[in-house]
């Protein structure tokens, strides 16, 4: 059985090196206490050199994205090979904020394959924009998963972290929080898709993301979440540590 995992997605925050160090150092100070939970932080690219120097085996680094080519004429982009210079262990792939900028399932698939080839653990984000009464959102999720995993072999799928992030529950403008029952339904559904389509019997880690905070995290864990992808609250060391602590003891 895999350990649970709590991942901080800092997005385009904070603004200063000083703040980045403050958040990371504060998480690092307490991190060793948590024996049953892996911890990762995905900062903006520019802070990776700084944080690489102070990272520990307990608080690993991840990237929020990468370009699918190794190098070349791609102004403003950063490749996975470059990121490997900074000891990243994970990479978020297919976050809804990237999908909103045009990243589609076939690009997500390319990135998943590249990350696996480079031995970087993909954190595959999937989630519907709306929850309709007729259950069409389940088809959306099925497509996202099936297309993201096209031609990925079974053993490798087991190493992927699946992050269910309903788009309507993400960020400060979220429509509302998701509830644990909604997570549980998707968790069962995704396991079924992985079994039917890819023959996966040992379910990989399925985590939850979208307005996760110390108050709502226990419910998701009880509904089967094996960890969290945390946005806003990963910028508040106290809240982030509280979420890790709840995860570690449940
Ligand atoms: P949030 O972001 O926790 O701020 O809703 C989560 C995410 O987008 O990964």
Q: Which residue among the candidates 97, 103, 128, 165 is catalytic per the annotation?
A: 165
Instruction: Give the mean pLDDT of 166-195.
Output: 96
**For residue range 37-82, what is the model confidence (pLDDT) as tens digits?**
999 999 999 999 999 999 899 999 999 999 999 999 999 999 999 9
Mutate to test the pocket of ligand 1, among 231, 233, 243 (most ligand atoms within 8 A of CB): 231
Atom 1 of ligand 1: nearest residue by CA position: 231
Q: Residues of the chain with pLDDT > 70: what percent?
A: 100
The alpha carbon dihedral of 209, 210, 213, 219 has a sign of negative
Q: HSE, CB side, 13 Å, CA atoms: give it for residue 250.
A: 19
Q: Distance from the CA of 170 to the center of ligand 1, in angstroms?
A: 5
Instruction: Give the mean pLDDT of 102-126.
Output: 98
In the prediction, which pLDDT does 2 show? 81
Atom 3 of ligand 1: nearest residue by CA position: 231
C-beta of 231 in contact with ligand 1 (< 6 A): yes
Q: Is there a catalytic annotation at residue 236?
A: no
Average pLDDT, the chain: 97
Q: Which residue among the candidates 95, 97, 103, 128 is catalytic per the annotation?
A: 95
In the prediction, which pLDDT does 55 show? 87
C-beta of 64 in contact with ligand 1 (< 6 A): no
C-beta of 9 in contact with ligand 1 (< 6 A): yes
**For residue range 121-133, what is the model confidence (pLDDT) as tens digits?**
999 999 999 999 9
Q: Residues of the chain with pLDDT > 90: what percent?
A: 98
Residue 1 has pLDDT above 80, yes or no: no
Q: Is there a catalytic annotation at residue 67?
A: no
Residue 177 has pLDDT above 80, yes or no: yes
C-beta of 171 in contact with ligand 1 (< 6 A): yes
């Amino acid at each position: 059985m895999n350990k649970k995992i709590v991942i901080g997605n800092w997005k385009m925050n904070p603004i200063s090196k000083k703040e980045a160090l403050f958040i990371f150092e504060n998480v690092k100070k307490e991190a060793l206490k948590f024996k049953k939970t892996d911890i990762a932080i995905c900062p903006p690219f520019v802070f990776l050199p700084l944080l690489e120097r102070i990272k520990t085996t307990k608080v690993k680094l991840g990237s929020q994205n990468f370009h699918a080519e190794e190098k070349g004429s791609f102004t403003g982009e950063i490749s996975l090979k470059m990121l490997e210079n900074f000891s990243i262990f994970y990479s978020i792939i297919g976050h809804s904020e990237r999908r909103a900028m045009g990243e589609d399932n076939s690009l997500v698939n390319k990135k998943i394959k590249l990350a696996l080839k480079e031995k970087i653990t993909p954190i595959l984000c999937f989630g519907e924009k709306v929850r309709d009464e007729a259950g069409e959102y389940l088809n959306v999720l099925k497509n996202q998963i099936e297309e993201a995993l096209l031609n990925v072999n079974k053993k490798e799928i087991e190493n992927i972290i699946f992050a269910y992030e309903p788009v309507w529950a993400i960020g400060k403008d979220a429509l509302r929080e998701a509830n644990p029952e909604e997570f549980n339904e998707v968790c069962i559904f995704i396991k079924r898709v992985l079994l039917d389509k890819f023959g996966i019997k040992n379910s990989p880690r399925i985590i939850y993301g979208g307005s996760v905070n110390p108050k709502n995290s226990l419910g998701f864990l009880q509904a089967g979440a094996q960890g969290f992808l945390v946005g806003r609250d990963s910028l508040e060391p106290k809240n982030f540590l509280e979420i890790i602590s709840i995860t570690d003891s449940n």
